[in-house]
Structure 1
Amino acid sequence: MTYDRLVCANCASPVSEGRCRVCRASRERLQQEEGPFGGLSPVVLISALLVLVAALALLAHQTI
């Protein structure tokens, strides 16, 4: 989940702006949970996976 569209229940502003302490705490927690691929969209991840599978198929075809 990304925090750029979340609205804080405490101050009713976007969490990404971090206006209150609740927003800032939520933003920090979500940033830590993202991991190395958290910033990438699912489309980019699927595209990268397809390219990897195609490269492996090509490599396997050349070794036969």
Structure 2
Amino acid sequence: MSCEHLICARCSNPVIEGRCPTCRISRSELHRHGPSVPPVLVLAALVAFLFAAVVLQRMQ
């Protein structure tokens, strides 16, 4: 669901603008997402895993 087309019942403005406390609360609830992992961190973990795999393979 998106708040782009929602109108606030309290201030009669688009919720996306967040003009009143009710708009801001509704907007934050609609756009709340779980914690995300930055792509750089995923790439760094992948590189570290590949490096560890290469090191372990050469030790055998």
Equivalent residue runs for 1:1-64 within 5 Å: 1-32=1-32
Q: Distance in 1 between matches of 2:5 and 2:20?
A: 16
Q: Which amino acid aligns with 1:8?
A: C
SS in 2 for 1:12: coil
Which TM-score applies when normalising by structure 2? 0.53
Regions of 4+ moved over 6 Å: none
Taking only the aligned residue pairs, the percentage that are identical comes to 47
RMSD: 2.1
Q: Distance in 1 between matches of 2:12 and 2:21?
A: 13
> How many residues matched?
36
Displacement after TM superposition at 1:21 (Å)? 0.1
Displacement after TM superposition at 1:31 (Å)? 0.2
Structure 2: runs of 5 or more not aligned: 37-60
The aligned counterpart of 1:58 is none
Which TM-score applies when normalising by structure 1? 0.50
Q: Deviations over 1:10-50 (max 9, x none)?
A: 000000000000000000000015xx8xxxxxxxxxxxxxx
Which structure would you say has the larger Rg? Answer: 2
